[in-house]
Amino acid sequence: MSSVSIASLIDQSYTMKSFNYLEPAKTDAATFITIMKEADQIGVVAFSTRSRILYPLTTIQSDHKTIYDAINEIKKIQPINMTNIKEAISQGHDILNNAGNPNRAMILLSDGIWNEGGDPLIGLPTDIPIYTIALGDRGQCNFLQEVARRTYGQYHFSPDAFELAEIYNQIADDASVATIAINQKQLIDSYRFTTLPLYVPGGSDHVSLAVNWLDESVTYTTGTPGENQVNILLRDPDGQKIVMPPTFMGNGFVTFHLHDPKPGQWTTGCWCGNMRQNIFRATVGAFEPNSTIKLNCKLAETKMNCGDCLDIKTALESSKDEIGNVIIKTTLESPVNSKDYVLEKYEDEILNTEPDEELMKKGINEIDAKLNTLHKKLLPNVNIFARRQSPVHAKYSQDGVEHEPIKLDVPGNHTIRVDVEGTILRSNTKFTRTRRLSVNVK
């Protein structure tokens, strides 16, 4: 892949802390940078009432200094004040104007509505794609989707902080940082381990493996994991255990870069000690920076109303090798209930609930602020924003991929995930590809 220039725009308004989003967001944004390649460029902007450049656009060198410097600045972010998205986009655009790479993109992460600086859609620059991430559905999801649509980026929805790492992994693929082969959440009990197959196709000269987790108090170890510790397992196709220090390591993440890996089925996984919360929540991402096999997915239409049918355009392309034995699996994740249904069912409880003051300050109406307070109060026994997963029939042929029409019968955010497994026929080695994208339905 050619080199890219990325501006990461991170919401540091106070509600990011009140929803427990800020620390995971910082970890996931930091992990994203460790996936980037030499000659890529990274810049970081943090925004609240005002926007500021945390880290100027800088070219990544082989000594890794740029990556660690950018991560250190991200980790310093603290919550404060309101949300000025317009100024953040302007600053991100400014620093990319002087980018040394033709491929440029912004990543815009926010948990809610803009309430400072004016409407970001007025005068929105459209020459650089913006990949937007809506953290939770309390804010202006339609607005963030429109920003992505107008700039030819991609809108992503994260119902909670745990989903966020998957989205950053996907954006690494969207923005041409690296092709994603694995993007998988892991829920592991204390004293347990899980494994995932990692297929390295023939001809791969570089594979990256990134693992990050929600609880930053969990530490990484190369030995038997003890109290609140995790070990990342890695075995080559011959079953030999690979013992190597992470290329990058920080609070809540490790990233390994494997150069000239042996083709075949590797094994990776997480081995847990006694977890403080009795469960380990992690996301495993595997990336191929120089792959010639690409899974492309897009929605024919993003402005959708309840009752419309979703049309997914999917193509699996190989610019070098013939592929076969393709298996495709598609899943739709949707809200269980509409907001109107929830408001009616919990009418009495909402009436007697004090609204979340921080949301009120940010401009969210009283009913939605009360609904958010009730949601947190009822967890974990009842999730009034529960989501469901449904399989979607898909068929692969040499002419392309066909998905059955999907009728969207509930308003809210819907996420489509497409997973593909296949074989490179010349080398008889397997590969995997995965993709996720979201749409907000009125």
pLDDT, tens digit, for every residue of 286-308? Answer: 999 999 999 999 888 888 999 99
Q: Which residues are within 8 A (CB) of 65 and not within 5 positions of it... i.e. 6 or more apart?
A: none
User: Which pLDDT does position 51 carry in this prediction?
Assistant: 95
pLDDT for 399 beyond 80? no
Contact 145, 439 (CB under 8 A): yes
Token couple for 334: 């949707």
What whole-number distance in Å separates Cα of residue 164 and Cα of residue 170? 10
Contact 171, 156 (CB under 8 A): yes
Q: Look at the domain 180-288 and name its fold.
A: Jelly Rolls (2.60.120)
Maximum distance among all Cα pairs of the chain, rounded to whole angstroms:
66
**pTM given for the model:** 0.94
Q: Do 181 and 293 contact (CB within 8 A), yes or no?
A: no
Tell me the pLDDT band of 402, cut-offs 50, 70 and 90: confident
Q: Is 102 exposed, middle or buried (0-12, 13-18, 19+ CB in 10 A)?
A: exposed
Residue type, 264: G
CATH of domain 293-336+387-441: 2.60.40.1930
Query: Which fold does the domain 4-177 belong to in CATH?
Result: Rossmann fold (3.40.50)
Cβ contact 328:295 at 8 Å: no
pLDDT attached to residue 139 = 62
Pick the range with the lowest mean pLDDT from 46-50, 95-99, 395-399, 434-438. Answer: 395-399
Residue with tokens 């390591």: 249
pLDDT beyond 90 at 359 = no
In sequence order, the β-bridge partners of residue 317 are 294
CB atoms near residue 141 (< 10 Å): 23
Domain coordinates in residue numbering, the chain: 4-177, 180-288, 293-336+387-441, 339-378
